[in-house]
Amino acid sequence: MTRTRCDRTAAWGQLTTHYESAGRNLDLRDAFAQDPQRFERFSQAAPFVFADLSKNRIDAACESLLLDLARQSGLQEHRDAMFAGDKINSTEQRAVWHVLLRNPPAAPAGIAQTATGLIAVEQAKVHATLADMLDYAEQVRSDAAITDVVNIGIGGSDLGPQMATIALDAFATTGKRLHFVSNVDGHELAATLSHLKVESTLFLIASKTFTTIETMTNARSAKAWFEAQGGTDTARHFAALTTNVAAANAFGITTTFGFWDWVGGRYSMWSAIGLPLAIAIGAEGFRGFLAGAHAMDEHFRTAPLESNLPVRLALIDVWYRNFHGFTSRSIAPYHSALRRLPAYLQQLEMESNGKRVDASGEALPFGTSPVLWGEPGTNGQHAYFQMLHQGTDIVPVEFVAVKKARHSLPSHHALLLSNVLAQAQALMLGKSDVGGHKHFPGNRPSTFLLLDDLTPESLGALIALQEHRVFVTGSLWGINSFDQWGVELGKVLAKDIEPRLASGDVAGLDGSTAGLLRLLRS
C-alpha cells in the first residue's frame, strides 16, 4: 500500500491555485443562481442517510480536484487495507478492524468474500462473543429483579454506548434505568449510588485495557459500596467488558465479555462495549444497529469516490481546514435524543485526527483536526448561533435532522424542522442592512444530514458514516488516526502529583503548579 501525503500530490498545488482564483470568493447565492441543478449535483444518498452538500463552498471544478487529491493520496488502497485487516495502526502495530464487528455471519459480499484464513478466524470469534453478549443482554432484560444498570467506563467505553442508548430511548423496552458513570470526580458515582439498591443493580465495568485510572477507581468504589451494603454475589451483579479478561478476573469479576486489540476504544461500541445499548434495546435492536453500520461500510467500501458520502464529506472537511483555514465545525443535531452526539463526535474526530505529525513522525505543515462542538437545536439557536450568523469567524455547521417524530404532540415537529431549514437558509442567504448591527453577511456554509427516522439501523449508519469520514481525512493528511499518544503525558503527571497533594512536596514542580498545590492543601 502506498500512501502519499495530500500536500505532496499534484492535486494539492492545483487546489491551491483554484482556491486563489475562484474558491476563496465562491458565493453560495451566486452558485445557486447559476446552477439550477446545484441541489441534485451536490447531494448524496447513502444507506439511511441523505446528505445535502449544496450549501458548501464548493463547485464542480473544486470537487473534481478534491477527488483527484483522494486518488493521488492512495485513499482507496488505504481503505482496502483497513477492510483487509492490515496493521494500519502503525505506531501500535495493530489492525483497525471495527468493520469486522458488524460484518454479518454469511455476508454475501464484503469482507467475508475476500476472506483470508485470519479474517475467518477473527470473524468466528466476533460472532461467538456477540451471541454470548446478546444472550446475556436478553437475560438481564428479562430479569425483573434488576432495575438499574450502571455502566462504569470513560472515553470510548462511555461516550458511544451512552450516546446511542440516549438516541435510541424510543426503542428501550425493558423499563430498566441505565446510568453512565465516567468521571473520577466522586460526585458522579456518589450521586448515582445514592439512588441504588444492591439487590437490584448490575454494574458493567467497561474498559478496553482494564487499567484506566478513572474506571478502576470508580469500579473499586462501586465494589466497596456493594460489599458494604451486604452484597456478595459478584458474578450476578458485576460484569466486565474488556480485552483484558485476566485483569477483570483478578479484580474479582467472573462474568466477562471480551473484545480484541484491533478494536480502537473510540470505535468499540459495536463490540461488548455496546452491552448497555443491547440491554436497553434488545438483541434484535442491537443487530439492527450493526446492520445499519454494515450497510454504510459497504457503501464506503464499494461506491465510486464521486458518489461515496464519507469521502465527499471528508473532502469538504479538507477543503475547509486546509484551504479556507476554518478551524472548527459545529454539530447541530435537531433531535433531542441526539444530544450526546457532539460529545461522541469530539472524541471520534479530535482523538483520531488531532495530530501534529504524519505517520512517519514528520511534523505536518498544515492543519489537522478542527475543533468540533455543538448542542442540539433549537437550544443552540438561543445560545451561540448569534456568533455563527454574525461573528468574525466562519464556522461550517453540520445539521442533522430526522423526518419522522416518535411522539404525538401536535405542531412540535413541524416547528423543529422549520427551524433547522431556516437556520441553514439564514446562514447561506444572510440579510443586507445598512445599520451594521442587523446585517447578516450570509454565504456561511452548512451540510444537512437527513434521516427518515431515528432507528437502530439509521443510527448505526450515521455513526459508521462519521467513522469513515474521519478515516478519509486522516488518510489524506497522512496521519495515523488510530493511536492517541496525546492523552498519555497528563496521565503520567497526575500520578506524580497525587502523592504530593498528601505530602505537600513541591520539589521540582513549576511555580504555578506548586502555588496551586499549596493553595489546595491550605
Residues that bind ligand F6P in the complex, under the rule CB under 6 A: 154-157, 207-209, 212, 215, 265-266, 351, 484, 487
Q: Which of 87, 125, 195, 382 is catalytic?
A: 382
| CA Rg value for the chain | 24
Compare residues 155 and 231 and give the one whose CB is closer to ligand F6P: 155
Is residue 199 flagged as an active site residue?
A: no
Q: Grid coordinates representing 481?
A: 488516526
Closest contact distance (angstroms) between CB of 157 and ligand F6P is: 4
Q: Which of 63, 214, 298, 351 is catalytic?
A: 351
Helix (H, G, I), strand (E, B) or coil at 95: coil
**CA-closest candidate to residue 154, choices 94, 218, 202:** 218
17 sits in which H/E element: helix 10-21
DSSP-derived pairing of the beta strands 49-52 and 446-451: antiparallel
- Cα separation of 467 and 156, whole Å? 13
Compare residues 189 and 388 and give the one whose CB is closer to ligand F6P: 189
Residue 356 is classified by DSSP as: S
Compare residues 156 and 376 and give the one whose CB is closer to ligand F6P: 156
Residue 348 is classified by DSSP as: I
Answer positive or negative: Cα dihedral of 145, 147, 148, 149. Answer: positive
Compare residues 48 and 238 and give the one whose CB is closer to ligand F6P: 238
- Cα separation of 273 and 267, whole Å? 10
Closest contact distance (angstroms) between CB of 156 and ligand F6P is: 3
Compare residues 206 and 388 and give the one whose CB is closer to ligand F6P: 206
Is residue 382 flagged as an active site residue?
A: yes
Axis crossing angle, helix 10-21 with helix 60-72, rounded to the nearest 10: 160
Closest contact distance (angstroms) between CB of 482 and ligand F6P is: 10
Closest contact distance (angstroms) between CB of 294 and ligand F6P is: 22
| Beta strands across the sheet bearing 148-152 | 177-181, 148-152, 201-206, 238-242, 256-258
Q: Grid coordinates representing 173?
A: 423496552
Compare residues 9 and 352 and give the one whose CB is closer to ligand F6P: 352
Residue 84 is classified by DSSP as: T
Query: For residues 290 and 455, is the Cβ–Cβ distance under 8 A?
Result: no
Longest dimension (CA), the chain: 74
Closest contact distance (angstroms) between CB of 185 and ligand F6P is: 16
Contacts (Cβ under 8 Å, ≥6 apart) of 324: 19, 23, 24, 57, 394
Compare residues 59 and 351 and give the one whose CB is closer to ligand F6P: 351
Closest contact distance (angstroms) between CB of 211 and ligand F6P is: 7
DSSP-derived pairing of the beta strands 397-402 and 328-334: parallel
Is residue 92 flagged as an active site residue?
A: no
DSSP per-residue string spanning 409-477 = -TTHHHHHHHHHHHHHHHHHH-B--TTSTT-B-----EEEEEESS--HHHHHHHHHHHHHHHHHHHHHH
- Cα separation of 254 and 233, whole Å? 11
Compare residues 242 and 330 and give the one whose CB is closer to ligand F6P: 242
Closest contact distance (angstroms) between CB of 91 and ligand F6P is: 13
Closest contact distance (angstroms) between CB of 158 and ligand F6P is: 8
Instruction: Return the active site residues.
Output: 351, 382, 491
